Structure 1
Amino acid sequence: MEKVRVGFIGCGGNGRGHLKRVLGFPDVQVVALADPDPEALKLATELEPRLKDVPKFSDYREMLEKVEMDAVEISTPHTLHYEQIMASLEKGLHVLTEKPMVCRSEHAEEVIAKAEEVGKVLMISYQRHFSPAFRFLRNYIRSGELGEIQFVSALQAQGWYWMAKGTWRQVLSLSGGGQLNDSGS
């Protein structure tokens, strides 16, 4: 079986977490890294000796032009997703993007239409959708055993403000919104 060749757009903390997990799959090969921050690229490279010789780019567009790959993983500030997804799909690549997929409903419609047009997978990397507890609950509700659901109350206690202090997540032009837009998507 040929390995799936993946390029990473965004090598910050979250991107490095994804990178570490992807490197554990024997049928995946990381073929390029892109991030405008040289320190993020350096830290990503230090994760794994296999990444030492992988091409690194400060601009993802250059990576898309120069490297043969099958897919990209996008882990960047939210308002950048739309442009990065569209550019990747236009290159004929499958896309796994961090949540939220995009920040505007018309952009969501456009990227979905583009993925369908080019016949590529566009998937959002949600935190909880595939975790066992949430899957169990979804299946239990769908089974009808609980009857008709009349009301749901949920609480998410997360020190989000302090965790994100001083980062792009608190810059509206990059985050596209606050905690609800981020963890609530």
Structure 2
Amino acid sequence: MTRIGIILGTTRPGRVGPQVAQWVEKTAGAREDADFELVDLADYDLPLFDEPRSPLMGAYEHAHTRAWSARVAELDGFVFVTPEYNRSIPSALKNAIDFLYGEWNNKAAGFVAYGSNVSGARAVEHLRLIAGALQLATVRTQVNLSLVTDFEKFTTFEPAARHDDALQQMLTEVIAWTNALAPLRQA
């Protein structure tokens, strides 16, 4: 069965991201075309990138990198859940991505973002650029959530019903692209 990781891309204290990631996980869990697993960056306690060699080499010196590598490698595709911080992604997410290279290759990715002004759209645009450098195929549909309209008092996640269709479409695209890329991962 295809395994999709729902990567929670913030480690900030008081973060609202877990609510969003759990919504994605619950929605995805009702599907029968893939297995979905929540991957919380906070569980990996990655320091600032500290490997002496480029991730292109895939030769990791540190146990934390090897654990992160093993987790990402066992997944076939991803849904990144990210806030928008200062018109981009959180540093913890960028750092976690930068630890690896080959583990991201020939897999698909979708995005669920949230923010105040443009509902996380700029974070997704930055992730799309990063993904291209990693040979990570991104799907067209994305879910953008507003801290103003989809969260009560900016803290309690209450998504508008219209996001359900977008989330289902994005998940369908991620699964389709992940399956289509499978022969490249097996080569």
Bigger Rg over Cα: 1
- Please state which structure has a larger fraction of its residues in strand: 2
Do Structure 1 and Structure 2 share a fold, with TM-score over 0.5? Answer: no
TM-score using structure 1 length = 0.44
Answer 1 or 2: higher relative contact order, Cα 8 Å, separation at least 6: 2
